[in-house]
Structure 1
Amino acid sequence: METHRRSILKAASYRLFATSVVFGVAVLFTGEFGASAKIGLSAAVAKTVLYYVWERQWSSIEWGLAQPE
């Protein structure tokens, strides 16, 4: 089993990686670093909030959960 510290580091490094990809794609499309940084940051914040909402919605669904014996 992973430690909490490892899981947090994995999540943070993935978010940095994913934001970098969005930034890179935005630079390719816009050719502007400032606008691309805003797009990358906005996407990172939006995806974090949306993931939280998604998880909260799934926590209220009982389908597929194993019942304790």
Structure 2
Amino acid sequence: MADSRYRSAVKAASYRVFATTLVFTIAFLYTGEFGSAAKIGVSAAVGKTVLYYLWERLWSTISWGRQAA
């Protein structure tokens, strides 16, 4: 059974919040600047969210490794 598009979008968004926090923290530790860290974090979040959603949709079309519930 494939995930719905809405489920894929929610998974992508929730993961991005988690991962962006990590990227922001690392960027802040390297730069020491809140503004630069925020720009890096937001840029990474937007790009990776789109890529993750597309990746999820691609995998939802592949039946390999799925088991019937």
The TM-score bracket by the shorter chain reads 0.5 to 0.7
Higher relative contact order (CA 8 A, sep 6+): 2
Q: How many percent identity over aligned positions? A: 67
5+ residue gaps, structure 2: 1-9
5+ residue gaps, structure 1: 1-8
Q: Which residue of 2 aligns with 1:44?
A: 45
Aligned length: 60
TM-score by length of 2: 0.64
Larger radius of gyration: 1
* CA RMSD in angstroms, aligned pairs only: 2.8
Q: Which residue of 1 aligns with 2:5?
A: none
List structure 1 runs of 4+ shifted beyond 4 angstroms: 9-14
Q: 1:49 to 1:10 in 2, by over 3 A?
A: closer
Q: 1:16 to 1:65 in 2, by over 3 A?
A: closer
Letter in 2 for 1:17: F
Alpha-carbon distance, 1:17 to partner:
3.4
TM-score by length of 1: 0.64
